[in-house]
Structure 1
Amino acid sequence: MGKKQAEIILKILEENGYEAYFVGGCVRDWLLNRPVHDIDICTNAHPGDVMRLFPDHVPTGLKHGTVSVKLDGSLYEVTTYRTEGRYEDFRRPSEVSFVSELRIDLERRDFTMNAIAMDRNGCLKDPLQGKADLENGLIRAVGIPVQRFREDALRILRAVRFAAQLHFQIEPATLAAMSETSFLLSHIAMERVRDELHKIMDSPAPEVGARLLAETAALHTSPLLQRLFSVRQEYVSRLPFLANLPQKWALLMYAAGLDPDQARGVCHELKLSKRETEAVCSFVQHITQLKPKWDEPTVIDWRPLLLQTGLPFCLELSNLLEAVWKNMPALDLKKSLEDTYEKMPVKSVQELALNGKQLYTLLDKKPGQWVQHMLQHLWEQTAFYGLANTPEALLEEAKKEVARHEY
């Protein structure tokens, strides 16, 4: 997908007597020299005209005037100039009306920086002064701010996300309207809220986003979520040093003092996947057990953690600890972890010279949960306490362990 390729669509529309412009986020990001992932086109051609001119298309949103034109394997959304009726669900208009003027179409958009059109020669149509707001680092709602957020409450979180991604300020009247209408976010599906929160957390300045979320009380209907994004900004500013979202959620939860049960509740509220939920909860459980103090590094005994969780998890946990101790990086955590791992003569249960079936057969016992506990014990003894990894030595130790605990 590229601008040069998309210019072909604009050229064909113009050659057939229609207007056509790039619009929205792609224009904003071109002006900011940021990567562009989606290219949107607006036109006064009606959907039927677009489908006639571009036989290779997908009728993705005819009700709202959108046709996806396929060109060299890429899809470009082409949408007819429109105005919108009432928003009955605080998210999408109940009806749209096609119009012939570009300005009317731009006036329905969320923020001035997203209401700039560009022709295929790079000339701008900017009746709402979006370029000036871009140059001044300002996020300003189009028209009456309260009305924009009442139409689509998700725009509140989009404004916060743009502020965090671009390190922009929010224009005062727009910010006031966000606070005034934040209660409407209760009508928005949690999946959409979660996706915006993820983008805020993945932004270069998540502390800006957290401050705005707290200031506007955007998450007030979820006390635990509001609590997470109300922690000290110096903790939130560490999120960019973490590798993935489960680590980032765990850091916020640790900063907010959530226990593992509360962490699981937040994950369910956010509708995270089972895999993500287990990762977050495991991080929270182990970081809570370690109780590291912010910017006060200590030596970590990696042995029990390696036995319990394995090397990949410990590497991620060390990344989380490094973020907690970011301002006092006195310890080479990863080196101490890797050194401990390398010194282990047996690095997993699977490397033991006896397997579970051999154990219960040689001990003449019925299989059961005790076998896994025994294998874990034998691994610990061979990994760190000098037990030889031979069938004879393992069996002898297993007999002693049986006598001690009467498995």
Structure 2
Amino acid sequence: MGKALAIRILQTLEENGFEAYFVGGCVRDWLLGRPVHDIDICTNAHPGDVIRLFPDHVPTGLKHGTVSVKIDGHFFEVTTYRTEGKYEDYRRPSDVQFVDDLRLDLERRDFTMNAMAMDLRDHLQDPFAGRDDLARKLVRAVGDPEERFREDALRLLRAVRFSAQLGFAIEAHTQNAMKQTAPLLAHIAVERVREELNKMLASAAPEKGCQLLCETKLLDYSPLLSQLFVQSTNHAWRLVHLTTLSQKWAMLMYAAGSSVSSAREVCTQLRMSKKETEACVTLVELLLRIQPRWDEPKAIEWGPLLLEAGWEVCTDLAALLQGCWWNRQDEELALTLRKAHEAMPIKTIKELAVSGLDLQTALQKKPGEWIWRTLATLLSQVALHGLPNTPEDLLEAAKKEVARNEY
């Protein structure tokens, strides 16, 4: 559907005397038979021409020649052929110049597989032999690899990510240039680094990406991140068996021997959100408490963990444990978790038949931490040890609990 709509843009541009091509990642993925998420178009039409021909548009990046054209509710980026001036911050060009030659536009791109263009009749423009590199399963920089990485240091991580996503090797000169220019990654915003690492971890071959990070020393500018990937490398193959990024980061941290505090430090350095950080650190904390040995399953007492962490965290933890035991999986693990959850008559403090105020009134005590501690004990006794969830039984148990702790 997306391509059919985008073809209308190419047709309109051609009918008005301009060149127009699909370009970059969409061409690569069509040739590989992969799903295409974004369709980009390049043309020798200047932004003013594009705006004139497509009244329904958003001028998303006029300075860089990009107009987002809307067709039937879908947006497509249409960018004028351009060359780029000097890169001043290892990320963006100081200026761009519009040109009429497609080849000049393609030669500024990062890798040969992303430097191909295709017209609406599926004729390929491939001046840097990107199709050959796809066939050979190679990630190769366009032109001088060192120059490409000095222009935009994020390309270093993009090379690793493409290798992991596609299962490709990195061409030798390109990989050597990555080692030479690795320190430039220190100039890239942490959020962009994190985004590339997340895509690499979520790929089909994350262990390949982790290995490349270690071989090229891309993360040496950050001893904390470098150490994390180096020390976890023997178990990186387990990552593909996990589903969420929180699970994957927690697995890396556990495999690297991280403490809870160092796990939190990694999350902070990567500027993960508070929610992402807590999810990851909680899983590391639970793994460190359980201390699973690699490929040696053991019984897990799920009840207390369910009360403490809840169902969602425990399902994440179960997935992690299966990853830790992948060569000798515990086939009963998910079943024992579900049975433990179903067997609990109540799961939260809110479901208790008494409240903190009820305890305060019945025991005639001032508010304090004792209320929360007592309610937590009552929850455990009801959920796991058969105490009836009635006001009378709970208040009687609460009196005993408070008396036991008053000395």
Q: TM-score, with normalisation over the residues of structure 2?
A: 0.98
Structure 1: which 5+ runs fail to align?
none
Aligned residue number for residue 126 of structure 1: 126
- Provide the C-alpha distance between the structure 2 equivalents of 1:312 and 1:30, rounded to a whole number of angstroms: 37
Query: Which deviates further from its counterpart, 162-171 or 226-235?
Result: 226-235
Partners of 1:147 and 1:136 in 2: how far apart? 23
What is the distance in 1 between the residues matched to 2:26 and 2:166? 14
Stretch of structure 1 that moved more, 303-312 or 259-268: 303-312
C-alpha distance in 1 between matches for 2:350 and 2:130 = 62
The aligned amino acid for 1:63 is K
Measure, in 1, the Cα distance between the counterparts of 2:382 and 2:40: 61
Alpha-carbon offset, residue 333 of structure 1:
1.1
Alignment deviations for residues 314-362 of structure 1 (CA, whole Å, 9 cap, x no partner): 1111111111111111341111112222222333222222111111111
Q: 1:254 matched to which residue of 2?
A: 254
Contact 2:19–2:44, Cα closer than 8 Å, also in 1? yes
Cα separation, 1, equivalents of 2:149 and 2:123: 30
- Listed one character per residue, the Cα deviations across residues 282-323 of structure 1 (whole Å, up to 9, x for unaligned) are 111110111111111111111221221122211111111111
What are the equivalent positions in structure 2 for 1:229-308 lying under 5 Å apart? 229-308=229-308
The RMSD of aligned alpha carbons is: 1.2
Whole-Å separation in 2 of the counterparts to 1:113 and 1:380: 58
AA partner of residue 320 (structure 2): L
Structure 2, unmatched stretches of 5+, are: none
Q: Return the alpha-carbon distance in structure 2 between the equivalents of residues 138 and 97 of structure 1.
A: 30
Using the TM superposition, name which of 24-33 and 382-391 deviates more.
382-391
Name the SS for the 1:230 alignment partner: helix
Whole-Å Cα distance in 1 between the matches of residues 67 and 312 of structure 2?
A: 45
Equivalent runs, 1:4-403 vs 2, <5 Å:
4-403=4-403
Q: Are the counterparts in 1 of residues 137 and 169 from structure 2 also a CA contact under 8 Å? A: yes
Aligned residue pairs, count:
407
Distance 2:175 2:82 in 1: 27
Q: Tell me, in whole angstroms, the C-alpha distance in 1 between the residues paired with 2:253 and 2:356.
A: 38
Report which stretch shifted further, 357-366 or 25-34.
Answer: 357-366
Amino acid at match of 1:35: P
Q: How many Å separate the matches in 1 of 2:398 and 2:35?
A: 60
Instruction: Give the 3-state SS of the residue equivalent to 1:238 in structure 2.
Output: helix
SS of the residue 1:340 aligns to: helix
TM-score normalised to the size of structure 1? 0.98
Deviations 1:95-122 (A, max 9, x none): 1111111111111111110011100011
Shift of 1:163: 0.2
Q: Contact 1:297–1:331 at 8 Å: present in 2 too?
A: no
Query: In the aligned structure 1, how far is the partner of 2:384 from the partner of 2:82?
Result: 70
In structure 2, distance between residues paired with 1:303 and 1:77: 52
Runs of 4+ in 1 over 4 A off after TM superposition: none
Distance (Å, rounded) in 2 between the aligned partners of 1:98 and 1:384: 71
**C-alpha distance in 2, partners of 1:126/1:70?**
28
Contact 1:149 1:156 in 2 (8 A): yes
SS across alignment from 2:280: helix
Does structure 1 conserve the Cα–Cα contact (< 8 Å) formed by 2:322 and 2:330?
no
Verify the 8 A CA contact 2:178 2:216 in the aligned structure 1.
Answer: yes
| Deviation, structure 1 residue 243 | 2.2
Cα distance in structure 1, aligned partners of 2:75 and 2:50: 14
Instruction: Give, in whole Å, the separation in 2 of the partners of 1:317 and 1:300.
Output: 11
Mapped partners of 2:54, 2:303: distance in 1: 63
Q: How many Å apart are 1:217 and its aligned residue? A: 0.6
Q: Secondary structure at the match of 1:131?
A: helix
Aligned partners of 1:299 and 1:331 also within 8 Å: no
For the 8 Å contact 2:86–2:95, the answer to whether it is kept is: yes
In the alignment, the residues of structure 2 paired with residue 27 and residue 38 of structure 1 have an alpha-carbon distance, to the nearest angstrom, of: 10
Distance 2:292 2:130 in 1: 46
1:173-232, Cα deviation, whole Å (9 max, x unpaired):
000001100100000000000000000000010010001101111110111211222245
Give the superposition deviation at 1:234: 4.6
Contact 1:185/1:218 (8 A) holds in 2:
yes
Q: Distance in 2 between matches of 1:54 and 1:345?
A: 62
Cα separation, 1, equivalents of 2:331 and 2:71: 53
Segment of structure 1 superposing worse, 278-287 or 238-247: 238-247
Letter paired with 1:252? L
Indicate the SS of the match to 1:237: helix
